[in-house]
Amino acid sequence: AQTVTQSQPEMSVQEAETVTLSCTYDTSESDYYLFWYKQPPSRQMILVIRQEAYKQQNATENRFSVNFQKAAKSFSLKISDSQLGDAAMYFCAYRSPSQTQGGSEKLVFGKGTKLTVNP
Amino acid sequence: EAQVTQNPRYLITVTGKKLTVTCSQNMNHEYMSWYRQDPGLGLRQIYYSMNVEVTDKGDVPEGYKVSRKEKRNFPLILESPSPNQTSLYFCASSPRPGSEAFFGQGTRLTVV
């Protein structure tokens, strides 16, 4: 079974600085999808960024980018120019390919990293 | 507006009293899931559905039931709630395999 590990329960960053959140995963599959979700105090789960394993290019979404290292099974999230509104829990998640390919319709989540942004 | 709607947002109930948490999506998505979130454990899947009348167990299905009689709705049923089911619950939907999941606002359930 796939597992996702976020080794940093808490992180902090100064406003306008850059921070990197770590995520590693364990899988025997060659094709899969990886996500970062943000959960602010409102509890809403918000998609930050998505990466398909077959794409070598790292995904980028405005100030958010990932460093996807397939061989190392690593998927870190970099937040540039941190803003107060970035303060939240961040979850890394893994999804198998379709069930017809032997996968499942399930997101496997890490335990989360709580990010604090200091003014 | 495209969204996943859960109700209620907050619920306090007593042990053994049957309850239902509703989930509805207006995006015509095939796939729907229920997750529970507990401190230090992240989110864990309870049940999922690939289509109408097609449901399957996730990682933590004990004590829960679901049904998918129509595409837009996927209610979560607790026949006899117990205190260990106190948690934050999320419903999610997605249009196709591998796509991101769209989450509801969450339901904070307390069983006393």
Average pLDDT over residues A35-58: 93
Q: Does any CB of chain A come closer than 8 Å to the CB of residue B6?
A: no
Q: Does any CB of chain A come closer than 8 Å to the CB of residue B62?
A: no
Task: List CB contacts (< 8 A) between A112 and chain B.
Answer: 42
Nearest CA to B35 out of A74, A93, A22 is that of A93
Average pLDDT over residues A36-52: 95
List beta partners, residue A107. Answer: A95
Average pLDDT over residues B34-39: 95
Flag if B42 and A98 touch (Cβ within 8 Å).
no
* Backbone torsions φ then ψ of B21, nearest 5 degrees: -105, 125
pLDDT, tens only, B12-24: 999 999 999 999 9
Mean pLDDT, all residues of chain A: 91
- The partner residue sitting opposite A106, judged by closest CB among B40, B48, B96, is B48
With bands split at pLDDT 50, 70 and 90, how would you rate the model's confidence at A104?
A: low
Task: List CB contacts (< 8 A) between A110 and chain B.
Answer: 42
* Backbone torsions φ then ψ of A35, nearest 5 degrees: -140, 155
CA distances, B92 to each of A47, A98, A111, B73, B89 (Å): 12, 17, 18, 11, 10
Total Cβ atoms within 10 A of residue B64 = 20
User: Hey, what are B5's tokens?
Assistant: 């709607």
With bands split at pLDDT 50, 70 and 90, how would you rate the model's confidence at A98?
A: low
